[in-house]
């Protein structure tokens, strides 16, 4: 009986995750009059492990035939990202901002509650500027698995585009990574393709 109840709870939890991560939900500020697409994050956004011009923002810009600003800083936690939000994002007339933080929070044992608070504040301030937000989750399998569901719920709550499991099948593929975590040029190209498939529909509205 207990086993059946446990399995039922697990199934219910998976259903919630599936709905939060996959279902269509309202996106705030579609039709933003801002000018720039800004990728705002840590070393994954910066392009650590690849040569100049091989980072995913640059490759995304080539796929979408538009300039994209890379506002990634290696080593940044969500707290450090929040501290540079005005200068690196809000002052640059954003149309859409991709937020990619959490990896260094996880590695440096930043409490989940702090990561959530910082992420929600970033979203609130960007949306108050009249811009769209895409929340990027870099989990892959068991790596940062707890963040996947949390970020999915934040995206729904804050009406942001959700881009789940960005590094899935990349950090387990030696031909797509430069070290244990960071992609190489081929990995960043795949990331650019995945992001394009999630955001392009909102840029056409």
* CA–CA dist 192, 185 (Å, integer): 10
Which residues share a beta bridge with 140?
143
Query: What does the pLDDT average to over 74-97?
Result: 98
Ordered alpha helix ranges (H), the chain: 2-22, 43-46, 56-64, 78-83, 85-88, 103-107, 112-128, 145-158, 185-203
Where are any strands of DSSP class E within 52-191? 68-72, 94-100, 132-136, 161-163
Query: Measured between alpha carbons, how far apart are the two ends of the chain, in Å?
Result: 51
DSSP three-state, residue 94: strand
Whether 84 shows a pLDDT value over 60: the answer reads yes
Cβ-proximal residues to 113 (8 Å cutoff; 6+ apart), any chain: none
Share of the chain above pLDDT 70, in %: 88
Q: Is 69 helix (H, G, I), strand (E, B) or coil?
A: strand
Does 178 score more than 50 pLDDT? yes
pLDDT for residue 90 is more than 70: yes
Backbone dihedral angles phi then psi of residue 94, each to the nearest 5 degrees? -75, 140
Give the residue from 134, 128, 115, 139 showing the smallest Cα distance to 198: 134
Q: What is the mean pLDDT of the chain?
A: 90
In the chain the domains, ranked by start, together with CATH numbers, are 26-203 (3.40.50.1110)
**What are the tens digits of pLDDT across the range 11-60?**
434 444 444 444 478 999 999 999 999 999 999 999 999 999 999 999 99
- Please report the pLDDT score of residue 161 as a whole number: 98
């Amino acid at each position: 009986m207990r086993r059946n109840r446990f399995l039922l709870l697990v199934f219910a939890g998976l259903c919630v995750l599936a709905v939060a991560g996959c279902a269509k939900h309202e996106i705030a500020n579609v039709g933003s009059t801002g000018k720039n697409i800004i990728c705002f994050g840590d070393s994954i956004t910066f392009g650590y492990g690849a040569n100049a011009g091989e980072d995913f923002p640059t490759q995304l810009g080539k796929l979408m035939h538009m300039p994209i600003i890379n506002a990634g800083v290696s080593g940044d936690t969500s707290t450090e990202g929040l501290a540079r939000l005005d200068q690196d994002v809000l002052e640059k007339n954003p149309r859409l901002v991709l937020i990619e933080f959490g990896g260094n929070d996880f590695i440096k044992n930043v409490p989940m509650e702090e990561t959530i608070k910082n992420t929600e504040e970033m979203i609130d301030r960007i949306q108050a500027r009249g811009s769209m937000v895409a929340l990027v989750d870099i989990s892959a399998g068991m790596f940062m698995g707890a963040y996947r569901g949390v970020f999915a719920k934040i995206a729904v709550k804050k009406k942001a585009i959700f881009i789940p499991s960005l590094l899935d099948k990349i950090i387990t593929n030696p031909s797509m990574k430069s070290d244990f975590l960071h992609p190489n040029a081929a990995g960043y190209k795949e990331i650019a393709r995945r992001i394009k498939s999630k955001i392009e529909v909102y840029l056409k509205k």
